[in-house]
Amino acid sequence: MSTATGRGFQIDQLQKTSQVLNTVVKGASTQEATTFRDGGTGWTVLQVLGHLRDYEGVFMERFTLTNDQPTPEPALPNPNPDEWAAEHRYSEQDVRATYDDWAKRREATIAYLKGVDEAGWQRVGIHPKRGRLMLEEQLSLFAWHDINHLEQITRILVEKKTS
């Protein structure tokens, strides 16, 4: 399989995330999304959604910094998720509005990624924890981030509904 084909599959996966997440969120009540937690003190479904929404912007900023190269090998942002959850008051937000905002951002991200040329995928940004990352590696990290949090949301809801 070519690298371009693999990237295409990953971008398709990002589109599927929106569909899956919509189904999961629609199936959860507001009470479930705001009270069921990942473990005793972990995030609620709403907090995970807020994180996904805000990190959609973080990943988009990373992609544009890397692809547009305002400076060679730009430093990539990596805000603290727990600090953002508190600062952005994820727990006080509306579940559906948070999902809808994330979905709009996701559409823009996918459109941007589909427009990256072959040279762009090889450009590098510097992640504060992971070091040098080509744009195509950032795409892989982004897809992993989605799956990680889809699993988390699903697990929170399934474990709490069956316990």
Where do the domains of the chain lie? 42-156
pLDDT higher than 90, residue 40: no
Q: Which amino acid is at 94?
A: D
Q: What is the mean pLDDT of residues 22-31?
A: 92
Whether residue 140 has pLDDT greater than 90: yes
Q: Among residues of the chain, what percentage have pLDDT more than 70?
A: 98
pTM: 0.94
SS3 string of the chain? CCHHHHHHHHHHHHHHHHHHHHHHHHCCCHHHHHHCECCCCCCEHHHHHHHHHHHHHHHHHHHHHHHHCCCCCCECCCCCHHHHHHHCCHHHCCHHHHHHHHHHHHHHHHHHHHCCCHHHHHCEEEECCCEEEEHHHHHHHHHHHHHHHHHHHHHHHHHHHHC
CATH architecture of 42-156: Up-down Bundle (1.20)
- 44-59 pLDDT, tens digit per residue, is 999 999 999 999 999 9
